[in-house]
Each structure stands twice: as C-alpha cells, then as structure tokens.
C-alpha cells in the first residue's frame, strides 16, 4: 500500500502577482518510486470529501481510474492487467475513481472517490490535489547508460521543453507516461509509444547539439520540428528525449574520438564495447531500456545499421528520399536517410509507416531468389552457425533459390571501362560527406561562430575535423562523386537489386553483420577518412532499403571481465529501391514464424539480464 510523500514543488502559479512564474510540473515519490506530474491538470474531480484529510500532510493523493465493463466486477480483476504497466503500481490503490459507471466496489482498504470528473479520464494512475485537480503520473527513469543528451516534455502547444526533474543514477531523468492512458487508433497508430530522437533533428522549443557543444549554445532553440519527428508526433508518439549522436553524425569510436560528449554505453556483453555510431544513443537506449520503445536515428553510411548490429536490434536504412529531412542536420543530402531502431519488429514497422507515410506500401508477395554476400559456407563458430541456420530457414520460408553472389566480380564484368569497383568507388562516399557537410554545415557554422565570438573558431572533434580537412584538399567535385554513384546505382538497378512487378524486388540480398569486439578502452590511431567500398556501402550508393535483424549471440572471452561474454549476431537484408514496405512485411512474417525474435533489453539481447550486474536496479 502506498506510503506517499511529496518531494516538493518544482514551481507554482502566483495568480495575484504579475511575475513571470509558471508551473513546470511537480516531482513526487510513491513507495520510493519517482514520478513527474506535468504542470497542467487533465481534469477536475469535485467533491471528494473522503480524502480531504490526506491533504493535511501531502500535496497530492495517488489514485487509480478504472472503467468497469459491467456490474459486480471485483477490483482485483479490473486492475489485474495494470501490473504490466511500468508506471502504475499498488501505491495508486490508495483511492479509486470509477469512470463512467455507478458501480461502487466494496473493499474497505480502498477509498472510492465519490466526486464527479469534469471530463472522462482514461484508466490508469493519477494524482489529485486538495482543489480536485487531477494530474497524470509520468514515471521517472534514469538514463544510466548515457544515451540521452536532453530530456523532453511536451508543452501542449506543439513545442517541447527540458524536463525539470532529476533522480539517482548520475545521468538525466527521463519521464514516461502510463501506457494505460493510450489506445491505438487508425489516426493515432503510435498512441503512447515512447520514442527518443537523435540530436540532429530539430524539435520546436529545444536546442539541437549535432553532438557539438559550441553548436548547442550558439543557436537558439528550434522554431520548428523536423518532418520525420513531426510525423511520429502526429501519429501519437511520446517524444521522451534527444539522444546522443557522434559529432555532426560522423563515425566516431570510443573513447578518444568523443571529446565533446562521452559515447553512450553499449549494454551487451561486458558493457564496454563500442556502440558504433553515429546513432550511438538510439542504439544504446533501445538495447538498455524497456521503458523506451523506438529510437529515431539517421543512416548516411551505416549510422543506424552499425548500432543495430552491435546491440542486437532491428534497425533500418530506408530507400533514399522517403520523407523530407526538413530541420535536420545534413551530412550528405544525396545519401542521408532517417531510420528507426527497435526491439520489436511490429512496433518498428508501425513507426516506419507513420514516419514515411504514403511513401511506403506494405505488400506480402516476396522474392523467391536470395543472393548472399560474404555469407559463411561452413560453421567455424557460433556466429557462423546462427547465420547458416537463418539462411536455411529464410530459404524454406520463401521456397527460394539461394546463390552466393560476388558484387565486385559482377560489377567489374559489366563495367570494364571503370573497373575495378573498389578503386572506382574508393573515394565516392568520403567525397560526398566531406564536400557536402563542409558547404552546408561547417562553413556557415564557422562564420556564425566567428561573428558571435570575435573571429574565434568553435571546438570540433578530431574525426569531423580530419574528414573536413581531407575534403578541402580533394580536387574531385560533388558532381564527380554523384556521377560515380549513378553508375553504381544503374548497375544495381539492373542486376543485384532489380525491381519486379510481382514481388517488388527481384531478389532478397543478405550479408552478415559485424561480430568483432571493439573495446571502448582502446587507444586507436588518429581518425581517418572512410575510404573504400564494402557491403555496407551498397545500399548507400544504390539508395535501397537495408534492414538489420538480430539473430542471436555468440561468445567471446572478454578482456574486461576475464570471463566468457556474449555479443549479438545479426544479418542485413536488402531489396530494390522503394520496396521498404515489402521488406518490413517479410521481417514481420519471419517474426511470426518464430524465425526471428523480439530483442531483449540488458546484458543479452536473447536472455536479458542486468547490465553491469546492477542488482539493486529493479527491471520493470
Ligand atoms: C482490496 O484492495 C487491495 C488493494 O488493491 C487488495 O490487495 C485486496 O486484495 C482487495 N481485497 C478484496 C477483498 O478485494
Ligand atoms: C514522398 O517522397 C517524396 C520524394 O522524396 C517527397 O517529396 C514526399 O514529401 C514524400 N511524401 C511523404 C508523405 O512524406
Ligand atoms: C530454382 O532454380 C532451379 C534451377 O535453376 C529452377 O528450375 C527453379 O525454377 C528455381 N526455383 C525458383 C523458385 O526460382
Ligand atoms: C569476388 O571476385 C573477386 C574477383 O573479381 C575475387 O577476388 C574475390 O575473392 C571474390 N570474392 C568472394 C567473396 O568470393
Ligand atoms: C583508396 O584511396 C587511398 C587514398 O588515396 C589509397 O591509399 C588506396 O590505395 C585506394 N584504394 C583503392 C582500392 O584504390
Ligand atoms: C591538405 O594538403 C596540404 C598541402 O598538401 C597538406 O599540408 C595538408 O596536410 C592536407 N590536409 C589534409 C587534412 O589532408
Ligand atoms: C534506380 O531505380 C530506382 C527505383 O526504380 C529509381 O528511382 C532510380 O532513379 C534508378 N536509378 C538509376 C541511376 O537508374
Ligand atoms: C576462451 O578462452 C579459452 C582459453 O584460452 C578457450 O579455450 C576458449 O575457446 C575461448 N572462448 C572463446 C569463445 O573464444
């Protein structure tokens, strides 16, 4: 039963004085669990005489709203499913409000509120004050893995502000509303879904950092919200915070590359593996927190796929151009894409449909040809075994013909005038990201910073600085690089990733994800420029969808723990441009056939488990 105490009032309304004081909400604790109450009451229940005495020693009384489906239902069965909610707890049974019914349950240990609500309340946990104002209960969780850069709370006018609350854990507190408040509808397919946003997307009212502290302070809070984010909000998503990005979305490796901000912590294995980048926070958060459903990242050259691979998550690079990247920091507009990270493939698809809108169509006629790139042919270790098992099951599922495909050999044979591919495309990616980002981001940033700070340069991390400097020295132009990209895309369109009128894509193309260890306490070489061409660049240059799916985990001897630990094993699936909806549907089909599984939070994506053995931290 709820031992309830009020921790304090963040601020308050002084109505008789013309001072600029407004409430930013309240923090309270119920049986030692911390809650945030947004400042605006959601209703008023007048005439609750039965609890007036409680307000003598506390500002708020926690209570639960139930909606009985008929008479004679006992309370225990009404609230049985509430225990699954990570916000509601028994402490909210101090009082009960029965919504929309004259049914009055009999239970002497629970106070029934007899007042009348000013409007209908969704079921779930709430707080009421002496004036009868009803506030929602948002649970506070600690971002112990350092995945967030800013906590957020909607102001109710389309803009957001920083959450004015903190809790134990040495990091930001993130507030999430009870899931009981929300019902998914056709208009709000993401109602109540909690989403974190990579800090390269503007959110109205909040500053954007792009992973750079000088940038964060130089520019004012955003005056508009990036379109991919707005699409998620319009579908009912709850934006819980901005998430860590490597600087200006360039690839950085922990630790030395991450000067302005510290990399987020990958929860898998020994807890000291690199998160990959640039969507470091989105990957770490999705792999660590059951209270976070989906993260929005971005993928220019692997920034969603890398974090998904090394943290055992579903993560997509979409076809290029599915949703306009307004109010979003560019790395290379001809390559930039917004992608989502999630543990559950159905929720992942639902969020994608909301974000890409009419530009994706979910279809379920699948290709019957599988082409593999660099797939193992025999099982040297557990990772190989998982990959071979998966390929066998997908081949059966699709009744497909599977062939090993050699991209370089095929491209070179078809394009003798430009071959070999590895030399032809060696500089293309690096040219596009450096030349476009210096023009679109660095130059205006330096000019604005100099104007504001007496000609000074802002601090920039070693990796973007090295890349930009390399770009300055190249004589080849953006147009040269785009021309090379077009040669590759034309070849891909006609061969490896050709469209099909019947199955959208002629083939399903698969390659294995990374399984090597990258310890974050390693002293690496100075940063270099991302030259070369490999499997992960195919979707980048061909503009096709490339989805990472988690397959399981494989053991390694950790130099941190001196013990066998496990890291995720994953596969990447590609199809023709514009077939994103078919690929989401295929992956959902594999999930329903139990060939793929939901990823767990914690030390293992397969079995869960405490991160760093924090046994004191209760998992809800
Ligand atoms: C009364 O409510 C309390 C709190 O929910 C519950 O533990 C108890 O089982 C209920 N008793 C009856 C008789 O329903
Ligand atoms: C679909 O893609 C096109 C081309 O990128 C874009 O102009 C349009 O805004 C997109 N539609 C939606 C609903 O996002
Ligand atoms: C698989 O390949 C064989 C031999 O090339 C061919 O006869 C068969 O039709 C193919 N099956 C499918 C499903 O494409
Ligand atoms: C692909 O073909 C090239 C020759 O063009 C060869 O050097 C390479 O080893 C082949 N790759 C694989 C994975 O078989
Ligand atoms: C790629 O470019 C770098 C830098 O110019 C060069 O050192 C390397 O040999 C090139 N690789 C290929 C395959 O052409
Ligand atoms: C650019 O070229 C100049 C002159 O050759 C050289 O000194 C400098 O180190 C180069 N910068 C980078 C980042 O490669
Ligand atoms: C490749 O195919 C896609 C999808 O059909 C199309 O949008 C694109 O323009 C094509 N690109 C080239 C270079 O042929
Ligand atoms: C861990 O090290 C032991 C002892 O060297 C070795 O036998 C074992 O195969 C290693 N396990 C893995 C997963 O590498």
The answer to whether the CB of 58 falls within 8 A of the CB of 5 is yes
Burial 134-147 (b: 16+ CB within 10 A, else e): bbbbbbbbbbbbbb
Cβ partners under 8 Å of residue 546, min gap 6:
299, 305, 316, 317, 536, 538, 539, 572, 573, 574
Distance of CA 586 from the midpoint of ligand 4 (Å):
29
Q: Which atom of ligand 5 is nearest to the CA of 426?
A: 1
pLDDT of residue 619: 46
User: What is the dihedral angle through the alpha carbons of 449, 451, 453, 456, rounded to the nearest 10 degrees?
Assistant: 70
pLDDT of residue 6: 47
Q: Which atom of ligand 5 is nearest to the CA of 423?
A: 14
User: What is the dihedral angle through the alpha carbons of 18, 19, 20, 26, rounded to the nearest 10 degrees?
Assistant: -110
Residue 474 Cβ < 6 Å to ligand 5: no
pLDDT along the chain (620 residues), means of 10: 44 58 94 96 93 93 88 75 95 90 71 91 96 97 97 96 94 97 98 98 98 98 98 98 98 96 97 97 98 98 98 98 98 98 98 98 98 97 98 98 98 97 98 98 98 98 98 98 98 98 98 94 95 98 98 97 97 98 98 98 95 57
pLDDT of residue 17: 56
The answer to whether the CB of 312 falls within 8 A of the CB of 550 is yes
User: From atom 2 of ligand 4, which residue's Cα is the shortest distance away?
Assistant: 409
- Indicate which ligand has the atom closest to the C-alpha of 506: 3
Residue 528 Cβ < 6 Å to ligand 6: no
Cβ partners under 8 Å of residue 616, min gap 6:
none
Residue 519 Cβ < 6 Å to ligand 6: no
Residue 401 Cβ < 6 Å to ligand 3: yes
Its pTM surpasses 0.85: yes
Please give the Cα distance from 207 to 324 (Å, whole number).
Answer: 21
pLDDT of residue 3: 46
pLDDT of residue 479: 98
3 state SS for 34-100: EEEECCCCCEEEECCHHHHHHHHCCCEEEEEEECCCCCCCCHHHHCHHHHHCCCCCHHHHHEEEECC
Please give the Cα distance from 431 to 347 (Å, whole number).
Answer: 36
User: From atom 7 of ligand 7, which residue's Cα is the shortest distance away?
Assistant: 577
Nearest 5°: CA angle at 63, between 60 and 66?
155
Residue 490 Cβ < 6 Å to ligand 7: yes
Please give the Cα distance from 29 to 44 (Å, whole number).
Answer: 22
Q: Which atom of ligand 6 is nearest to the CA of 473?
A: 1
Cβ partners under 8 Å of residue 318, min gap 6:
299, 337, 338, 339, 352, 356, 360, 545, 580
Three-state DSSP state, 164:
coil
All structural domains of the chain with their residue ranges: 41-136, 141-359, 369-586
In what side-by-side order are the strands of the sheet with 4-9?
4-9, 26-30, 33-37, 138-142, 173-177
Residues listed for the chain: 620
- Indicate which ligand has the atom closest to the C-alpha of 88: 1
Nearest 5°: CA angle at 553, between 551 and 555?
155
Cβ partners under 8 Å of residue 350, min gap 6:
189, 190, 193
Distance of CA 361 from the midpoint of ligand 3 (Å):
28
pLDDT of residue 210: 98
Please give the Cα distance from 224 to 594 (Å, whole number).
Answer: 42
User: From atom 7 of ligand 4, which residue's Cα is the shortest distance away?
Assistant: 409
- Count the neighbouring beta carbons within 10 Å of the beta carbon of residue 420: 15
The answer to whether the CB of 435 falls within 8 A of the CB of 475 is no
Q: Which atom of ligand 3 is nearest to the CA of 401?
A: 1
Check residue 287 and report its DSSP letter. H
Give, to the nearest 10 degrees, the angle between helix 428-437 and helix 478-494: 130
Residue 403 Cβ < 6 Å to ligand 3: no
Residue 422 Cβ < 6 Å to ligand 5: yes
Query: What would be the CATH architecture of the domain defined by 141-359?
Result: Alpha-Beta Complex (3.90)
The CA-atom distances, in angstroms, between 242 and each of 10, 120, 528 are: 22, 32, 28
Please give the Cα distance from 42 to 113 (Å, whole number).
Answer: 17
Residue 500 Cβ < 6 Å to ligand 3: no
Distance of CA 291 from the midpoint of ligand 6 (Å):
48
Nearest 5°: CA angle at 363, between 361 and 369?
125
CA of residue 219 relative to chain centroid, distance: 25
């Amino acid at each position: 039963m709820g031992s309830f105490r009020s921790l304090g009032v963040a601020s308050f309304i002084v109505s008789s004085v013309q001072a600029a004081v407004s409430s930013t909400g309240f923090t309270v604790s119920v049986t030692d669990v911390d809650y945030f109450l947004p400042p605006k009451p959601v209703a008023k229940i007048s005439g609750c005489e039965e609890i007036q005495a409680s307000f003598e020693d506390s500002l708020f009384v926690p209570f639960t709203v139930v909606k009985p489906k008929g008479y004679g239902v006992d309370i225990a069965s009404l609230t049985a499913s509430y225990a699954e909610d990570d916000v509601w707890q028994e402490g909210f049974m101090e009082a009960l409000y029965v919504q929309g019914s004259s049914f009055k349950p009999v239970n002497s240990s629970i106070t029934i509120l007899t007042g009348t609500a000013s409007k209908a309340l969704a079921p779930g946990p709430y707080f009421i004050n002496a004036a009868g104002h009803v506030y929602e209960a948002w649970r506070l969780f600690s971002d112990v893995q350092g995945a967030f850069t800013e906590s957020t709370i909607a102001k109710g006018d389309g803009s957001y502000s920083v959450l004015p609350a903190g809790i134990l854990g040495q990091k930001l507190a993130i507030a999430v509303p009870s899931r009981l408040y929300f019902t998914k509808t056709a208009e709000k397919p993401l109602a109540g879904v909690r989403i974190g946003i990579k800090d390269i997307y503007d959110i109205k009212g909040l500053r954007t950092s792009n992973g750079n502290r000088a940038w964060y302070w130089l520019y004012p809070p955003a005056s508009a919200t990036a379109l991919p984010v707005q699409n998620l909000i319009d579908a009912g998503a709850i934006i819980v915070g901005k998430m860590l990005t490597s600087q200006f979305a360039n690839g950085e490796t922990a630790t030395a590359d991450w000067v302005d901000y510290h990399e987020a912590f990958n929860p898998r294995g020994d807890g000291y593996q690199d998160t990959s980048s640039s969507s470091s926070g989105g990957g770490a958060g999705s792999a660590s927190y059951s209270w976070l459903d989906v993260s929005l990242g971005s993928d220019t050259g692997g920034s969603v796929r890398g974090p998904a691979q090394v943290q055992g998550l579903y993560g997509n690079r979409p076809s290029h151009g599915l949703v306009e990247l307004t109010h979003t920091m560019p790395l290379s507009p001809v390559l930039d894409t917004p992608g989502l990270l999630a543990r559950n493939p159905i929720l992942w698809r639902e969020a994608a449909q909301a974000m890409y809108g009419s530009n994706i169509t979910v279809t379920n006629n699948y290709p019957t040809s599988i082409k593999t790139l660099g797939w193992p042919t025999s099982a040297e270790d557990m990772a190989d075994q998982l990959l071979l098992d998966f390929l066998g099951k997908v081949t059966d599922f699709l009744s497909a013909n599977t062939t090993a495909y050699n991209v370089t050999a095929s491209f070179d044979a078809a394009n003798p005038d430009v071959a070999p591919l590895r030399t032809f495309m060696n500089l293309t990616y690096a040219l596009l990201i450096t030349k476009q980002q210096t023009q679109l981001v660095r130059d205006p940033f330096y000019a604005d910073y100099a104007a504001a700070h007496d000609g000074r340069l802002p601090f920039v991390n070693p990796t973007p600085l090295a890349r930009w400097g390399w770009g300055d020295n190249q004589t080849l132009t953006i147009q040269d690089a785009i021309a090379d990209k077009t040669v590759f895309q034309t070849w891909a369109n006609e061969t490896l990733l050709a469209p099909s009128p019947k199955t959208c894509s002629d083939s399903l193309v698969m390659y294995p994800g990374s399984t090597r260890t990258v310890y974050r306490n390693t002293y690496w070489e100075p940063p270099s420029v991302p030259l070369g061409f490999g499997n992960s660049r195919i979707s980048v240059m061909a503009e096709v969808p490339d989805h990472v799916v988690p397959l399981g985990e494989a053991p390694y001897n950790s130099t941190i723990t001196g013990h066998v630990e496990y890291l995720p094993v994953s596969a990447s699936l590609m199809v023709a441009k514009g077939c994103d909806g078919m690929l989401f549907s295929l992956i959902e089909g594999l999930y329903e056939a139990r060939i793929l599984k939901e990823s767990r939070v914690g030390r293992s994506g397969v079995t869960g488990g405490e991160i760093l053995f924090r046994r004191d931290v209760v998992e809800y």
